[in-house]
Amino acid sequence: MHAYLAEFIGTAILILLGNGVVANVVLRDTKGNDAGWIVICAGWGFAVFTAVLCVGQFSGAHLNPAVTVGLAGAGKFEWELVAGYLSAQMAGAITGAILVYLFYKPHYDVTKDESAKLATFCTGPNIRTLPFNFFSEMIATFVLVYAVLLMVDPSFAIEFAGAKAEVPVGLGSIGALPVGLIVFAIGLSLGGTTGYAINPARDLGPRIAHWILPIKNKGASDWGYAAIPVLGPLAGGILAALLFLSHSAAS
């Protein structure tokens, strides 16, 4: 499978399962209605596990622009391939969000709470203080990307029919479970402020889907907040790369 296609499919699976668990918990008349925050965090962790398991061997399963940028910044991924990965991740995120809507459409139709519907697509802070919201997203994503960088196996590479014959990747060689557990831990410990987007595509792609889909009584897509779950995670990925480079150079 082409690496870009793998990133598209993997990110679509990630959003289908991740936003799917949110829909199951917050929409009316679902089997999982009001199941709570731990179910959402576990669902997202298992969503990451499943997506990485499905496409890790083909693309490294970045599935997240912050991971891609962090790996590139740390010298573990080719910068010339970043734009292709990010484009595939965004397209996959939009597709996954549309699938969640189609899957749960009868429940969207009977749910009156506009904020609950929006929550099944993208994140939002419980207390809107943009500098602190940015800080929350940056630190949570730093934890994710730094952990991924520490687990990179430099001997692992995938065949890539593109600019390079082989592309070093960060996730394909470590297995899916550790990454899923990290995301689960971040959700439990650091997700209470902003809902832990920790992934620009995961937030922006579904927000675009919310904007364009004909959802009954959907309300606004909250574009005033949209920059935070994009810029915060990217800053966290860059911060993780800088720390990784600093101690790698020292050793």
The confidence band for 125, taking pLDDT boundaries of 50, 70 and 90, is very high
- Residue 165: what pLDDT? 33
Mean pLDDT of the chain: 92
Does residue 163 have a pLDDT over 70? Answer: no
Report residue 164 as tokens.
């390079």
Q: What's the mean pLDDT in 180-184?
A: 96
Residue labelled with tokens 């792609």: 205
CA angle 183, 186, 192 (to 5 degrees): 130
- Residue 9: what pLDDT? 98
Q: For domain 3-250, give the fold.
A: Glycerol uptake facilitator protein (1.20.1080)
DSSP labels, 9-76 = HHHHHHHHHHHHHHHHHHSTT-TTTT--HHHHHHHHHHHHHHHHHHHHHHH----SHHHHHHHHHTTS
Report residue 147 as tokens.
């952990």
In angstroms, the first-to-last Cα distance of the chain is 37
Report residue 188 as tokens.
């439990």
Q: What's the mean pLDDT in 73-89?
A: 94
Distance between CA 163 and CA 67 in Å, rounded? 20
Is 13:47 a contact under the CB 8 Å cutoff? Answer: yes
Q: For residue range 11-66, what is the model confidence (pLDDT) as tens digits?
A: 999 999 999 999 999 999 999 999 999 999 999 999 999 999 999 888 989 999 99
Does residue 194 have a pLDDT over 70? Answer: yes
- CA 183 to chain CA centroid, nearest Å: 9
Look at residues 209, 199, 210 and name the one whose alpha carbon lies nearest to residue 11: 199
* Proportion of the chain above pLDDT 70, given as a percent: 90
Q: What's the mean pLDDT in 132-159?
A: 87
CA angle 36, 38, 43 (to 5 degrees): 100
Q: What's the mean pLDDT in 102-126?
A: 98
The confidence band for 233, taking pLDDT boundaries of 50, 70 and 90, is very high
Return the domain boundaries, the chain. Answer: 3-250
b/e per residue 128-160 (b: at least 16 CB within 10 A)? eeeeebbbbbbbbbbbbbbbbbeebeeebbbeb
